[in-house]
């Protein structure tokens, strides 16, 4: 019979062995899966591009350049509009990559840092170009970069990553393209600038067309696997709830307190986007297009917040004033708003516009599920070992 000391010794050896195995998994890429990630979008995906642009253009840095942004995970501001990681960060981690470097502001000749991917998402970016929006009387407040500009930047980078057209196609065949979320700013700017709802609805098919054209352009270059998120329930956003504070009582969802008509607008965008993605699938059956339903994934946070550990659903963690702790004239990070709530993980909204890190982590679960559900169609790109690795890395998600 084994003694208690020998049992203890065996347990210690097993724990050491387990730590070594898990460490090797975490620190190695997912072999046989994607070799790079290229990402497009706005502030929900921006890992520092707007900050880099402000530095290179000697303009005022965005409020994401200051604490308390980054306080939860990085413990310093990184240009991310969050207290910590974004969905794209969790996705990169799960697939064995470092955090995607921002493309803008790079130093000439240092292309090698983009070998495993690059992030082109810029906070404030729109799907439609700024000149067209300006003709509609809609003005961007932070940048004139649109999805088309981001895609053109990617096309500018690509020849530096591969020596020939065939090599570029092979690179993109093994790459994951994350297309958005994008288009939200086209609508948000219009809503906040007092545009008529019917005029804003006319933008939706135009936004969806731009997303579609961008995907098709990348398909022509050789990309075969796309993650395309939809829009969120914007009627639950503290910023828009503040803009439309005082609406008629029957315009609010009695269960969540969100504005129903704004959420219906998000659903309209998502419906048109899903239909267009299906059209692309029919035209290109060999292409993997994975729609990520952010609306469906985030709705339970507002309907059953206690199930996810949330105490505040419609108030901003880093904010000030009013029913929703949000003032459009006082930005989180800029004086006097240099402090945030004591526990960001108990809030859904970080700064009235963007989610807290814990919400992004839950949303990443949806991304992983959609990606894993598509593995049979991905064939040689992502073998079963990828699924097993994700189960070890993210057991809390039940992938």
> Which residues are catalytically annotated?
43, 351, 354
CA 157, 158, 163, 164 torsion-angle sign: negative
Query: Maximum CA pair distance of the chain?
Result: 84
Both tokens assigned to 168: 């570029």
Is-contact 51 69, C-beta < 8 A?
no
SS3 category, 316:
strand
Is-contact 304 240, C-beta < 8 A?
no
Measured in degrees and rounded to the nearest 5, phi and psi for residue 63 equal -65, -15
**Beta-carbon contacts of residue 297 (< 8 Å; ≥ 6 apart):** 362, 363, 365, 366
Cα-based angle 188, 192, 194 (whole degrees, multiple of 5)? 120
Q: How far is CA 13 from CA 213, 245, 261, in A?
A: 56, 61, 59
- E strand map for the chain: 36-40, 117-119, 175-179, 225-229, 288-292, 312-316, 347-349
The candidate with the shortest Cα–Cα distance to 299, out of 348, 365, 354, 332, is 348
SS3 category, 241:
helix
β-partners of residue 177 are 38, 226
SS3 category, 292:
strand
């Amino acid at each position: 019979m084994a003694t208690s000391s020998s049992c203890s010794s065996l347990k210690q050896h097993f724990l050491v062995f387990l730590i070594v195995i898990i460490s090797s998994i975490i620190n190695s890429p997912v072999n046989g899966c994607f070799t790079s990630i290229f990402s497009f979008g706005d502030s929900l995906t921006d890992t520092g591009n707007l900050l880099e642009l402000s530095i290179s253009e000697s303009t005022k840095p965005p409020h994401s350049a200051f604490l308390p942004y980054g306080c939860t995970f990085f413990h310093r501001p990184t240009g991310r509009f969050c207290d910590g990681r974004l969905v794209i960060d969790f996705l990169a981690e799960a697939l064995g990559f470092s955090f995607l470097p921002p493309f803008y502001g790079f130093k000439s000749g240092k292309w090698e840092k983009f070998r495993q991917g690059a992030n082109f998402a810029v906070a404030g970016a729109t799907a439609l170009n700024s000149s067209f929006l300006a003709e509609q009387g809609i003005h961007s407040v932070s940048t004139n970069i649109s999805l088309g500009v981001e895609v053109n930047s990617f096309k500018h980078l690509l020849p530096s990553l591969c020596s020939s057209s065939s090599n570029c196609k092979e690179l993109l065949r093994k790459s994951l393209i994350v297309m958005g979320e994008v288009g939200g700013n086209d609508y948000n700017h219009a809503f906040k600038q007092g545009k008529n709802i019917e005029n804003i609805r006319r933008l939706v098919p135009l936004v969806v067309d731009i997303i579609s054209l961008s995907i098709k352009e990348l398909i022509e270059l050789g990309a075969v696997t796309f993650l395309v998120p939809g829009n969120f329930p914007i009627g639950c956003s503290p910023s828009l709830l503040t803009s439309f504070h005082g609406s008629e009582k029957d315009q609010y969802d009695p269960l969540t307190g969100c504005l129903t008509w704004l959420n219906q607008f998000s659903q309209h965008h998502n419906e048109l986007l899903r239909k267009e993605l299906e059209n692309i699938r029919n035209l290109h059956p060999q292409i993997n297009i994975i729609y990520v339903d952010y609306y469906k994934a985030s709705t339970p946070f507002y309907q059953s917040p206690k199930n996810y550990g949330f105490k505040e659903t419609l108030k901003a963690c880093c904010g000030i004033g009013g029913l929703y702790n949000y003032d459009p004239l006082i930005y989180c990070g800029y004086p006097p708003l240099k402090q945030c709530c004591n526990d960001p993980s108990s809030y859904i909204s970080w700064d009235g516009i963007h989610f807290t890190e814990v919400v992004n982590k839950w949303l990443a679960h949806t991304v992983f599920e959609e990606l894993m559900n598509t593995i049979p169609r991905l064939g040689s790109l992502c073998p079963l070992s990828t699924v097993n690795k994700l189960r070890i890395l993210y057991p809390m998600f039940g992938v």
